[in-house]
Structure 1
């Protein structure tokens, strides 16, 4: 990731599991929810009618995503979607072997991120559905899906993380779980969830040319979605922030929010390194055990409420767009190479 000041102090932190050891806003509070087990657990019974809504995102062989419990557009099912996992875990449904055709699992010092291609009609998403965005907030403030939670052991132990976002349609998904923060880049900013029409390539920029490949990589950290550096003043970087354009009616009055000019891409695409490939992602469970006797045929989707676009990712220097500049001290996350990476503070 780019730096904007000459001096740096490297703060090295070890992986820790106590709430007090994480920056405020990183760890979720409260219970796992009434549909979920009290804690993540590997090796639970196979239940393809489960309504559990607990995801775990641990590795390329062990992760989960949300999808409908029955054939339905994402826009119509976002409040009650259920967990589907690559392995039997969390009392959730199991993703059938052959569903995923390519996965990229990225580890950074700020978040863990998973991109995937596949035939998600096997997860009850109708063929052609352009999908939508899921996050722990939602229209009712209790998450989409309601009661959905996400854990990861990427920092050394299972933790329930407060901020995450998942974009999914009938043949692609991208998922980010924000696992660290500091005074400049909060977990909420790194997992900013209000750019649902911009698509994976804008919100989670990276290499999307991996279909047919299953890889795990370390990666640099992107700027928070919609952030663009505009200038550096006395060692402090100014950012503009993009807000998605939207019009609506409330209490009989029309209103407009967001920016009329939409940027074409994220400011830059983070690089990845130390990539290792595996042949496939498989649990080895016979399809008949999952109640599958033939390939899903899919169905024609109605027009979804949320538009999901497949972007190609950003270039190294895209123009800023959005609201008036705000002043933030520059903080650059150092990519995770071994264990838990440090944070470089530039003055």
Structure 2
């Protein structure tokens, strides 16, 4: 664990937010362009297209959000650069999440991020049954994003914005998604959406109440500390933190080895934020009868995965943690496939 000092995290609506002049703190809003497969802006009412290659997610409400999943039946670890958008509504020229796919969703609104947790049968989104999945984010092993050209918007702050930092863990029956919508000088959007702890799973990186399957709820929630941050002491009003980094070893392009991260793995995040003002709805669906349109919904089929109730980790990961040695440009970047099995973890590393 690595120690540093920072001001205390205030779990209030004003702790991390939009600046007074209605602009956003640096690093919150994406500065690039929409990916080449995407519409120029988030758009409702686009035609049903279950072969779309668009990669624009919008995360607005419990009945208006999107996920990344494979364009054809393939493990997440094998398809992370090419995932496509699947949405609960007809929007963004994306594919439609078939009604009945989602069995439980928790939509959490905080002053720092919006977080969506869900269970369902994601074989309908081309994820093979039994695939414990992976982690997707705007960075990727080679800096071009997983998926390449993927963008994420939200209107949670009052108008559609393209946000720079987000992360999605998804497997065949569970997902967790966080979009970082504000920041301050202590807690950056990149820190709140820190994407290099993918072996740890949903319950650690995006803590929340995971006992919501077969319930559809929208809640306000307190803000968690950034993933891997642990307050250790307060000195002269300043909170000191330690940070956790995943442990792995690899080989540089010159044949020398490197080691990254901590050998001791914490068992849980520092805290699980509380939620309040929850409202429930009966289900999430779009009412589009794909079969009547001659569309099967996806190329995949498999047993209905209702998603076990659990508070631990979910989607395992195809990791792309940055190499911390000095010369990144001359080194081999690791691709690590992690399989997370609910209460326990198995891991295998593949380097190339």
Question: TM-score, structure 1 length as denominator?
Answer: 0.82
3-state SS of the aligned residue for 1:122? helix
How far off its partner does 1:291 sit?
1.2
The question of whether the paired residues in 1 share the 8 Å contact of 2:24 and 2:182 is answered with: yes
Q: 245-254 or 39-48: which moved more?
A: 245-254
Q: Deviations over 1:219-261 (max 9, x none)?
A: 0000000000000101000000000001111121111100000
Partner of 2:337: 306
Asked if 1:101 corresponds to 2:76, the answer is no
The question of whether the paired residues in 2 share the 8 Å contact of 1:101 and 1:211 is answered with: yes
3-state SS of the aligned residue for 2:191? helix
Unaligned runs of 5+ in 2: 1-6, 305-316, 319-335, 344-352
Q: Deviations over 1:287-336 (max 9, x none)?
A: 3136128982269xxx9753253668xxxxxxxxxxxxxxxxxxxxxxxx
3-state SS of the aligned residue for 2:200? coil
How far off its partner does 1:174 sit?
0.2
Partner of 1:62: 64
Partner of 1:330: none
3-state SS of the aligned residue for 2:337? coil
Residue of 262, 284, 292 corresponding to 2:287: 284
Q: 1:67 and 1:8, CA in 2 relative to 1: closer, same or farther beyond 3 A?
A: closer
Distance in 2 separating the partners of 1:175 and 1:130: 16
Partner of 1:272: 275
Q: 1:231 and 1:167, CA in 2 relative to 1: closer, same or farther beyond 3 A?
A: same
RMSD: 2.7
Partner of 2:44: 42
Unaligned runs of 5+ in 1: 313-347
3-state SS of the aligned residue for 2:199? coil
Q: How many residues align?
A: 304
Question: TM-score, structure 2 length as denominator?
Answer: 0.81
The question of whether the paired residues in 2 share the 8 Å contact of 1:50 and 1:91 is answered with: yes
Distance in 2 separating the partners of 1:72 and 1:8: 40
3-state SS of the aligned residue for 2:279? strand
The question of whether the paired residues in 1 share the 8 Å contact of 2:50 and 2:297 is answered with: no
